[in-house]
Chain A
């Protein structure tokens, strides 16, 4: 069982918007920055969002991140079939002294 909780799956139609939640506690999300990763089928994870809401160079602004208290959210607008992937949140846990990830959310673009 993961320290961070994500919904196992979400789905939406092409062109629509979807949000993926990530719930934690004061020892992780509540007091540290959150990052998000996209893992396309059969490939390595790719950084999408860091420091809660910043996008690395090359990541389109269709992807956004936010944090409130002990929860974080990834938003994706203008969904494309190429966005079908697993999405993971991650952060440092100050009590465990390790990086913790959510269990992952599978996005299906119907």
Chain B
């Protein structure tokens, strides 16, 4: 059974840092892209970043570029999100998810088939 368990959320002051972790099990972690998606209170989903199965390629939404770093440890089946210079607008539940990618007839197919339960990050003084 695929399981994704996030940890590391909490209350942090503006300008502070936090590191989120996601422990994966039930599948060959090193074969899959992984992603972080967040959801501000009462708002919709916002994709944050993803990372290729070998860590060689990473993409970020503009609002976190230069502040957040996604990484993975395939030996430990673990995904991380280092968040620096946190702002009030980063307050959200952060989900890790497994991503599947493929290209068919020149069209990209990308979607998240398994999600963790989420961890809440609150940025406030």
A residues contacting B by CB (< 8 A) are: 2, 31-33, 35, 37, 39, 43-47, 50-51, 56, 86, 88, 90-92, 94, 96-104
Contact = CB atoms under 8 A, between A and B. Distances in A.
Question: Chain B: interface secondary structure?
Answer: strand
Contacts of B114: 47
A56 B111 CA distance: 11
A88 B39 CA distance: 12
Interface stretch (B13-21, B41-49, B73-81): B41-49
Contacts of B117: 43-44
Given A35-B110, A47-B111, 19 more contacts: A32-B107, A32-B108, A32-B110, A37-B112, A43-B117, A44-B115, A44-B117, A45-B37, A45-B112, A47-B114, A50-B100, A86-B44, A88-B44, A90-B45, A98-B47, A98-B61, A99-B47, A99-B50, A104-B45
Q: Which of A2, A31, A47, A96 has the most chain B CB within a 10 Å cutoff?
A: A47
B55 interface: no
Contact of A92 (B62, B104, B106, B110): B110
Contacts of B110: 32-33, 35, 91-92, 99
Interface of B: 35, 37, 44-47, 50, 59-62, 95, 100, 104, 106-118
A90 B115 contact: no
Contact of B113 (A47, A90, A94): A47
Q: Which 9 A-B pairs have the closest CB atoms?
A: A35-B111, A99-B47, A33-B109, A104-B44, A44-B115, A50-B111, A32-B108, A101-B45, A92-B108
